[in-house]
Amino acid sequence: MNTPAPDDLSRLRAIAEEGREAPLLGGTHLVMWGCLVALAAALHWGVASRLLEWPAWSLAVIWFGLMGLGGVLSSVLGRGIDCAPAAPTIGNRVERTVWITTGAVFATIAIALFVYGNIEQTEAAFAYYAMMPPITFGAYAVALNTSAVAGAARRLVPFAVLSLALAAVTVLMIGDPAQYLVVAAGALLVSVVPGFLQLRAEKAGD
């Protein structure tokens, strides 16, 4: 069996140290997505509580419209992040992959529920959308904790725990329009706030 040369070991150690010290670069995405989700959820609450006299189909326009905008903005922001010196580190590669996968899960479930609701054409079929908030916060918990471990960013762990709590709370609030007020506040707490913390850490690491 061949043993690694000292130079190879030194190089691997240097790569590992660089990855451990490099800041995570997903702060901008967290802030952007948190703001969009909070806005969509607040509008959803307004429609569901009849504060806004918009038709029921406006909910699909709100969510798919704002999430589609988020997808476009993510693509644009991603190009700039890919050019950053820290982008190739293991922490940032894991962070980006876990959030891309999380977004794909959200989109797949949302589209599948929309198709199912239109096939069934019943109020009960569309009511399954009420499970999206707990699914979202549960996925956030996984993504935040994974990013925290991969990027040695312990500051993200409390937000992962808070996401789990919000997942439980939003299950208990299914059927109550106020569920979406909790979603709006939760998005600010577990996406925008940690996003700003990451941006500050990124700036400090420059």
Mean pLDDT throughout 136-144? 97
pLDDT of residue 4: 53
Mean pLDDT of all residues belonging to the chain: 89
- Check pLDDT > 80 for residue 129: yes
Ranges of each domain in the chain: 23-205
Mean pLDDT throughout 125-143? 92
Residue 127's pLDDT band (cuts 50, 70, 90): confident
Quick one: tokens of 143? 């993504």
Mean pLDDT throughout 135-155? 94
**% of the chain beyond a pLDDT of 70:** 89
- Report residue 178: phi and psi, to 5°: -65, -15
**Between 32 and 2, whose confidence is greater?**
32
pTM: 0.87
User: Residue 12: which of 99, 90, 86, 94 has the closest Cα?
Assistant: 90
How far is the C-alpha of 45 from the C-alpha of 67, rounded, in Å?
Answer: 17
Per-residue model confidence as pLDDT tens digits over 187-198: 999 999 999 999
Out of 56-65, 123-132, 143-152, 183-192, least confident range: 123-132
Q: Are the C-beta atoms of residues 134 and 171 closer than 8 Å to each other?
A: yes
